[in-house]
Amino acid sequence: MIISYSWIFAALTDFNGRLQARDIVRFLYNAAKITVEQSNNIQFEKWSTSRLLPPQSIRKALKPCSEKKVEEAKEEYPEFEKWVETLRQYSVELRSIPFAVEKFGMEPKTVRILEDMGVIYEDKEKEDIARFYMPEIFREGLGFSGTGARPRVLALKRKVLGRGII
Give pTM, 2 decimals. Answer: 0.82
Phi, psi of 17 (to 5 degrees): 80, 10
Chunked in runs of 10, what are the mean pLDDT values of the chain (166 residues)?
Answer: 71 93 96 86 66 83 97 97 95 90 94 96 84 92 77 68 58
Boundaries of domain holding 113 = 5-161
Q: Into how many domains does the chain fold?
A: 1
Q: Is residue 166 in a domain?
A: no
Mean pLDDT over all residues of the chain? 85
Euclidean distance between CA atoms 143 and 20, whole angstroms: 21
Amino acid 150: pLDDT: 57
**Cα–Cα distance measured from residue 127 to residue 110, given in angstroms and rounded to the nearest whole number:** 22
